[in-house]
């Protein structure tokens, strides 16, 4: 039976402290079933007419915390179990639900009807069901929940009043704020390289195209260089022209 449930009390309390701080009345009741072991009854009735509040300590194998069972939880358990009392099941493995933490003084134990001088974190339990393992030894080696550093700081803050119960909530907000400042990238660094290139202005590309087109037009419109005929070709042209003019010159001489 000891291997059938996991430790959860410490993580649950820290989550409540980081979320709701000192406003425990804002925390919702946990409606899902959680397994714990009844390791000690701080108070229990001594007769059928004794209707004292039932306080106990429960364990999840790692940590112990006081609990107070509501009147509705005790009556529902007795009705379901033919009038048996919950206090007859010491060290039993039980399932609890409809619970949330509260901060109050608790009985000092051994059924002494005397309250502790200081307040403690206590689970107020609205439903309980026995699963078995009555009379067995204590599972694991659980420690008081206040031995956890965060729970201890939260408990001390709640005892101080004046907003001290918000210590875990403020710590978490500070951690989240500093973490966001360190990891928040700039807009440019968030863009992939491909998208950064695409986001550049298109004007530069158009200007480059216009320059290329104007360059090509200028080159095609430039006048062609004059073709200089070879020297031999010029001499032949001169000879032909001289031969044509020489007969004309001779004819004009004869006429005279």
The predicted pLDDT at position 32 comes to 95
CA distance 88 to 182: 56
**Cβ(56)–Cβ(70) under 8 Å?**
no
Taking the CB of residue 56, how many other CB atoms lie within 10 A of it?
A: 26
Q: Does the pLDDT at position 61 exceed 50? A: yes
Percent of the chain with pLDDT over 90: 56
The CATH code for residues 2-178 is 2.40.50.960
The predicted pLDDT at position 37 comes to 96
Nearest to 126 by CA among 147, 101, 155, 109: 101
Q: What is the pLDDT of residues 73-89, one digit of tens each?
A: 999 999 999 989 999 98
The predicted pLDDT at position 43 comes to 95
Per-domain boundaries in the chain: 2-178
The Cα angle at residue 163 between residues 157 and 169, in degrees rounded to 5: 75
SS3 call for 76: helix
Q: What is the pLDDT of residues 215-252, one digit of tens each?
A: 545 444 555 555 555 545 555 655 565 554 545 444 44
How deeply is 191 buried, as exposed, middle or buried, from its count of CB atoms within 10 A (0-12, 13-18, 19+)? middle
């Amino acid at each position: 039976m000891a291997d059938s449930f996991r430790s959860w009390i410490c993580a649950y309390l820290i989550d409540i402290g980081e979320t709701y701080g000192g406003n425990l009345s804002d925390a919702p009741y946990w409606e899902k079933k959680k397994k714990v072991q009844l390791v000690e009854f701080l108070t229990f009735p001594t007769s059928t007419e004794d209707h004292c509040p039932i306080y106990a300590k429960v364990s999840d194998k790692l940590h112990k915390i006081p609990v107070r069972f509501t009147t509705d939880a005790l009556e529902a358990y007795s009705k379901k179990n033919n009038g048996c009392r919950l206090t007859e099941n010491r060290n039993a493995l039980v399932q609890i639900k409809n619970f949330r933490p509260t901060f109050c003084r608790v009985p000092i134990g051994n059924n002494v009807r005397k309250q502790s001088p200081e307040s403690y974190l206590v689970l107020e339990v609205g439903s309980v069901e026995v699963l078995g393992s009555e009379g067995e030894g204590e599972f694991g080696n659980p420690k008081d929940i206040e031995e956890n550093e965060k729970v201890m700081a939260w408990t001390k803050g709640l005892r101080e009043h004046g907003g001290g119960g918000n210590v875990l909530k403020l710590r978490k907000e500070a951690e989240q704020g500093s973490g966001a400042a360190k990891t928040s990238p700039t807009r440019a660094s968030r863009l992939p390289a491909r998208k950064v290139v695409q986001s550049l202005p298109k004007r530069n590309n158009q200007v480059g195209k216009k320059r290329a087109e104007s360059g090509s037009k200028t080159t095609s419109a430039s006048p062609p260089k004059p073709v200089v005929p070879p020297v031999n070709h010029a001499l032949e042209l001169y000879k032909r022209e001289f031969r044509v003019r020489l007969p004309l010159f001779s004819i004009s001489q004869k006429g005279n």
